[in-house]
Amino acid sequence: MIRKAFFPGCYIQGKDILRNLGEIEELKKKRVFLLATNKAVKSIVPENLSTWKSICEINYEKFSGACTWDEINRVLEIARDGVYDFIIGMGGGKTIDTARVVARQLGVKYIAAPTIAATDAPTASACVVYSNEGSVVDYFITSNPDYVLVDTRIIAEAPARFLVSGMGDALATWFEAETCDRSNFRNICGGFNLRAIMSLAEACYKTLLTYGSTAKIACENNVVSPALECIVEANTLLSGLGFESGGLSTAHGIHDCLCNLEGTHAYYHGEKVAFGTLAGLFLETRPQPLVDEVYAFCRSVGLPTTLAQIGLEGVTDRELDAAIHPVFDNKQSYLHNVRFDLTPEGIVEAIRMADALGRHLG
Ligand SMILES: [Zn+2]
């Protein structure tokens, strides 16, 4: 049995760390290309550019907003001309993924600098590329960032819904890793789980329960509190290592099914993953005290516990069934990473139970 895990080279988290680019020694006097979101170009870049220029030779480019092959090729052409040593992706998951692919194609070092803690993508090696129409066209593994720079002041100043969504993505981590580990399913790295990763996944879940609700309040008030810092670490590092090296299962599988229903398109990845986690509790017959604990957590931070809260009020069984089938029929889907034979009907029932308990709790 081969156990395997992927890690980023270095993870740096703290208040105002972007000001000095994480004091990364090897950045000094190097040529650096920064791909940044529109928002970062308007605020973070003008505030810090003169300091950055005292550290390294830096040029920046605004990200178009979509991680498509057109955008990757556009940025690749610009970055290729500059003969850079480092590429930094600054923004949300799509900016980070675009910069990641460009850096790996050019064979240069890559720094992920997330400005929100909405998913666990920044520490990971997986990339998602979309079509110009917005559907997923490619999903592949590159390699993890050489550095991850997480400035907690910037995260605290972003809307709290991003942080809560990140908690939804992180909520799935321990459950999915535990399912994969118990049943000997391979993780995203293609190996079996190390004890180190199982400990991190458990720490991820416990951190959410301990600090989730106070971190949300901190974020709503733009305060970089210790609780917020713990949750940023859970959402970004613990969840990132946990999903990639611990494996995915029903929560993300059900998320993929829900994404096939148009009503959910206005909701974030982590919000749908949270509901997928709830449905997974019923699918996998988790004990009632654990179910109660997870529902109490979701309600305390404002993660969805009903179908109506992810845009699916009044959805019929037939519609759910039609949404489940494309995922269910793909035998490679991590939806099948469970010990028993799944049926689409059983998945519909689990989704209905998750919604029923959510509505019952009010
Ligand atoms: Zn996820």
Cα(61) to ligand 1 centroid in Å equals 27
Q: Are 186 and 245 in contact (CB under 8 A)?
A: no
Cα(47) to ligand 1 centroid in Å equals 32
Number of domain units in the chain: 2
Return the pLDDT at 76. 96
Q: pLDDT (tens digit, 9 = 90+) per residue, 301-328?
A: 999 999 999 999 999 999 999 999 999 9
Q: Are 170 and 239 in contact (CB under 8 A)?
A: yes
Q: Is residue 225 part of a domain?
A: yes
Residues 356 and 216 placed together within one structural domain of the fold = yes
Return the pLDDT at 82. 84
Catalytic residues: 169, 252, 255, 269
Domain at 71, CATH number:
3.40.50.1970
Task: Collect residues with CB below 5 Å from ion ligand 1.
Answer: 169
Return the pLDDT at 36. 98
Looking at 107, 140, 156, which one is the last position of a domain? 156
Residues 111 and 178 placed together within one structural domain of the fold = no
Q: Is residue 1 part of a domain?
A: no
Cα(156) to ligand 1 centroid in Å equals 21
Residues 45 and 117 placed together within one structural domain of the fold = yes
Closest to 142 in 3D by CA, of 199, 85, 89 = 89
Q: pLDDT (tens digit, 9 = 90+) per residue, 4-32?
A: 999 999 999 999 999 999 999 999 999 99
Determine the structural domain holding residue 262 and report its residue range.
Answer: 159-361
Cα(192) to ligand 1 centroid in Å equals 19
Cα(38) to ligand 1 centroid in Å equals 24
Q: Are 266 and 311 in contact (CB under 8 A)?
A: yes
> How far are the Cα atoms of 26, 69, 110, 233 from residue 76, in angstroms, in the given order?
23, 10, 14, 31
Structure token digits, residue 244: 């990639």
Cα(243) to ligand 1 centroid in Å equals 8
- pLDDT tens over the chain, length 362 residues: 899 999 999 999 999 999 999 999 999 999 999 999 999 999 999 999 999 999 999 999 999 999 999 999 999 999 998 899 999 999 999 999 999 999 999 999 999 999 999 988 899 998 989 988 777 788 888 989 999 999 999 999 999 999 999 999 999 999 999 999 999 999 999 999 999 999 999 999 999 999 999 999 999 999 999 999 999 999 999 999 999 999 999 999 999 999 999 999 999 999 999 999 999 999 999 999 999 999 999 999 999 999 999 999 999 999 999 999 999 999 989 999 998 889 999 999 999 999 999 999 98
Residues 110 and 184 placed together within one structural domain of the fold = no
